[in-house]
Structure 1
């Protein structure tokens, strides 16, 4: 920490000055002072974030044995901007951090954080955490004696998508994933929770969806689970986006309409052979001409907003739509026209939730992209595409707001095989491949909001999530935060190794090694 180059991850985008000396500190001797009143919600979030910060620095008395006296550290935070602590599309995440001895007070260090939002201040606390380490030989936490850092992200959307449709992950695993996301300043937990195989969340507003299409009572997330995860994430500067995937890939979740006198809500759920009507079994596609659908969606969107606290950003899926299914039941209208009308009515349902359209509603990129520019142009400023294959989509996304998640590069389950017996395996996406991918440097990718790694769980289950995701997701995090033109050089690899060791020792996240343990102990030899 004292003798090598900067060890922060992600690397800051502004100026950085770090001392080469350190002082002994202890978690319980850190104090928080908030300069100027901001808002009660921000104060509460700051106190919670500071408590988390101190917990992350806590070690046993046996480990902290080396000094009779430790420095007291006063952390002074000033937030000049928003009184809303939530991560939002317009949140200013920049911050300035300085560390120095307290003038006129021997044995005291002063930390100053200036930010324009709670999220910016939380990022500064994360950076401060990385300026502190446990020295096992000295038997103490050490903190750099002086530092100044100016920092702000390159992209405002920096996400990780976890799929709980194919396989279930316990809440504890999702919380550890959020812990790790916070360490590298990812800000969006995209929860792909509804799909063909399972509707994995029990919504009180429409409980039939999970009852008709879930694996069992022990693999359903309750509303309390969602609240817990969203609150946990919010204190770490992360928003939770619950994707309600419509109109296709719905399985049997909507097959209860006739029983309640609502008519057919969906078609094609039991048609064979399945591969003629969907990408994966079981099939199923909503009935776009049943107006009860849009009333139900309005109830779902309202509950999603109440559970997550996110009301400016939604995801409505839009993946895997089958022309054949709708043609079978509506041969008087082109399927694409049905889809356009369905999307328009779905956006109207979203609008009713708050009285105005969300700032951004995401859909997976598809053949609908061109129709957005023509038939849905009144919504052009409010719709965003999540682009899964840039080579195919580059012409389609031009002029459209885009979140990039090219699965040829940023899918973290790629290379682990497919459940389809006759399908060819995709290549593994190494951290180097993820880190070096910068398509915006040479291509026109529309109005790029940011990017996202995806974890499709068809061949991934409980107990394997952490190793599959980390530290590769951190490579994407630095790319989206710093976007330095450098490639995956050896110095970058050494920094990533230090970051990985923090995940393992400080957060108990079982991140995969990126080289031999011998290299971790002999960095310069390996370099």
Structure 2
């Protein structure tokens, strides 16, 4: 089996490889596993672990998602003293300095988590890291520049590995630090634990799409703060930048509203299954340090039941109708039924206060998700109060106009609470967003439409042609809850990866959706990960090559997720994860 000529430049492993076991060779861009019991084996041409082999094997390196430009200028491996890294950064504001200190802590925490041991006896190179942000802005939105450059060079005179990371913003710097962590691996042998890195690397990188999201749902089943943070960790490792938090639904209302405490008192599963202002603020900051913003969703006018029942007791009338009505399939999608009551003007007063609570917590946000899907006309049509409000007009057009009236008044309530800042609002596709009349109801300068239709549906193209901005959640590729209920199909990581979305400038990006009916703290991570990471590369890199070309890096990234503490599901047998050449087309 021929060897690459550059292997002779690698770290000489002759004194540290236990040849009576598995070894790895880089062959045709893949790490190939072999077994050796021959003491005379030329050990300078092999690697003692698949992780170390992956550092240098292949033209794209080990980085996930795939960088825009990756160049290994010196593939020789050296031992590096990562636990004693010296990190420098120059900043122009205290806020920028504080953020980069958080990034520094993130790096050191990740390195320390890789191993508790500090017993490397090898000659180690000092690790000196320079972080530089070109602009001091800490605002994270769709206009934030996330580009970064990463350069690794070796100074032989001082035995120093120098890393320079420059970002357009601190968030670009953060992404560069994430890539640096993927360029450092553990070497363990003879009760020693050392870190290994390449001598020279150049990376120039930036995302293709501005919105790279994961939806989680805490309305159907409660998710602990710790579980949400682990999902945020997975997103950070994969350079995703939006956590879409479907915070409430008809089943429960876990958000503790300062102005409307009855919402969670009546709607939470229990007092312990709620999110306080402190917890939410902590999550927002935790996510931001990882380059992620959280967009909250309070769905309406449908998907509203539990938590809204207290209106009559407060002399506000029925805020929702059809609550827990049976048979539920005649009035809604899932039990308990519930739909907001647009005939009750007190509803908009309640919404204004609820939006004000969210704005108090999401102080830097310029976007809010109002849901807006799966409104059932039969619910409103069976409610005397609403039929009287419509003066007996039960036509389809009358109910559509009522829905549009609700949306206009809900937007006005949001604008009042938000002091008329003209923030963007996201809505799911529905009959209200039908291209034949959407322009009549939803101004395109305010609304962003999130599509959830199959690949074959032309709706996204039609909405684009009308001038709307889109977020795409392809229903038959990116709905990660599918395959566990009804006649839905499970989508493998390859299916997720190979789902190409529209590339118009008006397509902000996309989201994979982990709806919560059948997930909770016990299984959400294994359902979402590593498949969400497959979508992350699609949204960051928009690769022209298929998933089969990404297998090696994807297996390596799955290992990273697991080492981070994320309960990612295996996508292949263990054999394939360390012998990818034998399993390139498996599953």
**TM-score with structure 1 setting the length:** 0.92
Say yes or no: does 1:364 pair with 2:428: yes
Distance 1:446 1:365 in 2: 19
SS of the residue corresponding to residue 474 of structure 1 reads helix
1:88-487 matches, within 5 Å, as 88-102=141-155, 106-137=158-189, 139-328=193-382, 329-330=386-387, 331-332=390-391, 334-370=398-434, 373-376=438-441, 379-390=443-454, 391-392=456-457, 393-394=459-460, 396-398=462-464, 399=466, 400-417=468-485, 424-440=486-502, 447-487=506-546
Larger Rg: 2
Stretch of structure 1 that moved more, 178-187 or 65-74: 65-74
Distance 1:66 1:286 in 2: 63
Contact 1:29 1:71 in 2 (8 A): no
Say yes or no: does 1:496 pair with 2:554: yes
Contact 1:86 1:239 in 2 (8 A): no
Count of aligned residue pairs for this structure pair: 512
Corresponding residue for 1:420? none
Match for 2:579 among 503, 522, 525? 522
SS of the residue corresponding to residue 20 of structure 1 reads strand
Distance 1:265 1:60 in 2: 52
Say yes or no: does 1:8 pair with 2:68: no
Indicate how the Cα distance of structure 1 residues 188 and 350 shifts in structure 2: closer, same or farther if over 3 A, else same: same
> Cα offset for 1:514?
1.8
Indicate how the Cα distance of structure 1 residues 12 and 269 shifts in structure 2: closer, same or farther if over 3 A, else same: same
1:210-268 per-position Cα deviation (integer Å, ceiling 9, x unaligned): 11122111222222221221111111010111111111111132121121122222211
SS of the residue corresponding to residue 343 of structure 2 reads coil
1:297-345 per-position Cα deviation (integer Å, ceiling 9, x unaligned): 2222232233234421110011221112223323435111111111112
**TM-score with structure 2 setting the length:** 0.83
Distance 1:385 1:60 in 2: 41
Distance 1:350 1:17 in 2: 51
Contact 1:397 1:446 in 2 (8 A): no
Corresponding residue for 2:82? 27
Corresponding residue for 2:13? none
Contact 1:191 1:241 in 2 (8 A): yes
Distance 1:132 1:9 in 2: 13
Indicate how the Cα distance of structure 1 residues 276 and 91 shifts in structure 2: closer, same or farther if over 3 A, else same: same
Contact 2:215 2:513 in 1 (8 A): yes
Indicate how the Cα distance of structure 1 residues 288 and 31 shifts in structure 2: closer, same or farther if over 3 A, else same: same
> Cα offset for 1:68?
4.8
Indicate how the Cα distance of structure 1 residues 495 and 345 shifts in structure 2: closer, same or farther if over 3 A, else same: same
Distance 1:218 1:128 in 2: 39
Distance 2:441 2:410 in 1: 12
Corresponding residue for 1:421? none
Distance 2:505 2:207 in 1: 19
Contact 1:87 1:187 in 2 (8 A): no
Match for 1:513 among 561, 564, 570? 570
Indicate how the Cα distance of structure 1 residues 299 and 469 shifts in structure 2: closer, same or farther if over 3 A, else same: same
Distance 1:384 1:218 in 2: 34
1:452-485 per-position Cα deviation (integer Å, ceiling 9, x unaligned): 0111121222211111111110000000000011
Stretches of structure 2 lacking an aligned partner (at least 5 in a row): 1-53
Stretches of structure 1 lacking an aligned partner (at least 5 in a row): 418-423
Contact 2:68 2:541 in 1 (8 A): yes
Distance 1:167 1:211 in 2: 17
Distance 2:319 2:572 in 1: 52
Indicate how the Cα distance of structure 1 residues 51 and 321 shifts in structure 2: closer, same or farther if over 3 A, else same: same
Contact 1:241 1:310 in 2 (8 A): no
SS of the residue corresponding to residue 305 of structure 1 reads helix
Corresponding residue for 2:11? none
SS of the residue corresponding to residue 211 of structure 1 reads helix
Distance 2:199 2:113 in 1: 20
Contact 1:165 1:192 in 2 (8 A): yes
SS of the residue corresponding to residue 252 of structure 1 reads coil
Contact 1:23 1:144 in 2 (8 A): yes
SS of the residue corresponding to residue 217 of structure 1 reads coil
SS of the residue corresponding to residue 555 of structure 2 reads helix
SS of the residue corresponding to residue 502 of structure 2 reads helix
Indicate how the Cα distance of structure 1 residues 196 and 59 shifts in structure 2: closer, same or farther if over 3 A, else same: closer
Indicate how the Cα distance of structure 1 residues 187 and 347 shifts in structure 2: closer, same or farther if over 3 A, else same: same
1:113-142 per-position Cα deviation (integer Å, ceiling 9, x unaligned): 211211111001101111111112362111
Distance 2:153 2:411 in 1: 51
Corresponding residue for 2:44? none
SS of the residue corresponding to residue 518 of structure 1 reads helix
Indicate how the Cα distance of structure 1 residues 293 and 372 shifts in structure 2: closer, same or farther if over 3 A, else same: farther
Indicate how the Cα distance of structure 1 residues 309 and 101 shifts in structure 2: closer, same or farther if over 3 A, else same: farther
Contact 2:472 2:501 in 1 (8 A): no
SS of the residue corresponding to residue 496 of structure 2 reads helix
SS of the residue corresponding to residue 370 of structure 2 reads strand
